[in-house]
Amino acid sequence: MPISRREFVAASAAASAQAAPAKRPNILFLMPDQHRYQSVGCLGNPQVKTPHIDRLATEGVILDHTFANTPVCCPARSVLLTGQYCHRNGMVANDLRLREDSVSFPRTLREAGYRTGFVGKWHLDGGPREPGYVPPGPRRQGFEFWAAHQCSHRHFDNHYFRDSDQPIKLGKFEAEGWADLGVEFLEQTRKDQRPFYLTVQWGPPHDPYKAPPHYAQQYDAQRIAMRANYRPLPGVPTSREIAEYYGMVTAIDDQVGRLMKTLDDLGLRENTIVLYSSDHGDMLGSQGARLKRKPWEESIRVPGILRWPGKVAPASRNGLFFTHADFAPTLLGMAGVPVPRAMQGRDLSKPIVAGSATGPDSAFFQIFGPFAGDGTSGGWRGVRTRTHMYARYQNQPWVLYDLQADPDQQHNLVGQPGAAAVQAKLEKRLQQWMKETGDSWSYNWTHPVEDAGRLYKHRTFHTLAEYMEWAKQNPELDRG
Ligand SMILES: [Ca+2]
């Protein structure tokens, strides 16, 4: 039977009064690629089988307003790592290289005595994605243990690197293969007593939409209930592909269970913070759209489930806005490690532990340029409050939704007389976000740099300006 928050706090206080000074908590951050909020059992979709993630939620807190500020891969990962918005850390386009001197919370944790480990898809190194080796040193941004690939979508046939440029076959579907390496890192705690930060960053359920048969067979495409805003336009995923996506989610879920069991077996459960989230969602045909970079819930909203035994009340829910920019400062706050001043996000560890929703009044979103590959026509900025979502291009407002009356975002209120007052208010809040974070429309770009791999196929760039200069000098190569 669930205990009340009051009983829980009283019991924890009594326990901590007798305890010796606590060792810093370990942190385990689990992050599949492209796992949207709407495709988790405990987050309101009973069609998707996620028993282990659901259990994590009953043992911890659901942070159900967790959002990706820039809902696309490299930018999102850069925000998570640096606690800075993309225009500040430089990762305004997919496949740039994150500056080697970036502020990075794994580096901060390492300096504070943590053992740090990265397993999975890195995607912060820019340049050609294959073979995918990132050498030891500053390009690893503070990670000590390394078993990773820069970026590959070969989920059944991936390879990885440790500290040499010799590729090692993963030999399994990524869900299990990367988890094997996570287990290896965790088992090293038997010999290494330092507190740790480990992150396992899976490629699935990112497309291609294909799960191992055992998982795919758990879903009947004929019986998938499509979201109310699903529109079967050409090129969007079918129910068959959504069934495969769910299969990949369940494959990840099994490995979440395995990693949780490993924590238990090693006696690490009590002093380990576990956070489950994703870099962005997947439209999967909602709004007739595919993939991400969109201002709609299926793209921006991601799972946020955090377990911290004795600190965060089990089976609780907290609706505070928790965006990617807040992850690094919040985890540092939980670890008791000072947050570097260069970070822009907020340390929300106190309200999360207190079960309070006091925090930012809204979430801020930025996309800086077009990508024909998923139908994104250009850069936009957005703000989401508890009641509304608003986004605009530089030259005109784009979408405005009343999320209470229209949670599926099917009635765009932009420019409607009845919505003028709320639109003006959101416009003002958006401008405030841009000003507060140092953003400006001048960070946008229009050249199709993200299409056909232009930005990474031939060489590595840290900035758009560097790339544009190269493209001018090499027009024959810059055809994608
Ligand atoms: Ca991604």
Q: Which pair of structure tokens corresponds to residue 314?
A: 């089990």
pLDDT for position 38: 98
Ligand 1 center from residue 379 Cα (angstroms): 18
What band does 250 get if pLDDT is binned at 50, 70 and 90? very high
Coil, strand or helix: which one is 435? helix
Ligand 1 center from residue 292 Cα (angstroms): 9
Ion ligand 1 neighbours (CB, 5 A) are 33, 73, 279
Ligand 1 center from residue 328 Cα (angstroms): 18
Q: Packing angle between helix 239-265 and helix 174-187, nearest 10 degrees?
A: 10
Ligand 1 center from residue 168 Cα (angstroms): 23
What pLDDT digit, counting tens, does each position of 255-303 carry? 999 999 999 999 999 999 999 999 999 999 999 999 999 999 999 999 9
What pLDDT digit, counting tens, does each position of 34-81 carry? 999 999 999 999 999 999 999 999 999 999 999 999 999 999 999 999
Ligand 1 center from residue 205 Cα (angstroms): 9
Residue 10 confidence (pLDDT) above 70: no
Q: Which of 336, 335, 334 is nearest to 322 (CA)?
A: 334
The CATH architecture annotation of domain 379-446 reads: 2-Layer Sandwich (3.30)
Ligand 1 center from residue 114 Cα (angstroms): 27
- What is the torsional sign of CA 143, 157, 275, 124? positive
Ligand 1 center from residue 278 Cα (angstroms): 8
The one catalytic residue in 52, 65, 87, 123 is 123
The one catalytic residue in 42, 73, 74, 86 is 73
Coil, strand or helix: which one is 386? coil
Mean pLDDT of the residues in the chain: 95
Cβ neighbour number for residue 471 with a 10 Å cutoff: 18
Share of the chain above pLDDT 90, in %: 94
Domains of the chain, residue spans: 5-361, 379-446, 449-480
Residue 15 confidence (pLDDT) above 50: no
Ligand 1 center from residue 57 Cα (angstroms): 23
Ligand 1 center from residue 151 Cα (angstroms): 10
pLDDT for position 478: 81
Q: How far apart are CA 73 and CA 71, in angstroms?
A: 7
Residue 73 bears catalytic tag: yes
Q: Which of 271, 304, 279, 340 is nearest to 109 (CA)?
A: 340
399 pairs with which residues across the strands? Answer: 391
Ligand 1 center from residue 261 Cα (angstroms): 27
119 pairs with which residues across the strands? Answer: 147, 200
The CATH architecture annotation of domain 5-361 reads: 3-Layer(aba) Sandwich (3.40)
What pLDDT digit, counting tens, does each position of 86-101 carry? 999 999 999 999 999 9
382 pairs with which residues across the strands? Answer: 365, 391
What pLDDT digit, counting tens, does each position of 177-203 carry? 999 999 999 999 999 999 999 999 999
Q: Packing angle between helix 73-82 and helix 324-335, nearest 10 degrees?
A: 30
Question: DSSP strand E in 229-303: where?
Answer: 272-276
Cβ neighbour number for residue 101 with a 10 Å cutoff: 8
Ligand 1 center from residue 93 Cα (angstroms): 12
Using the structure block, give the residue that is written with the tokens 């994590």: 56
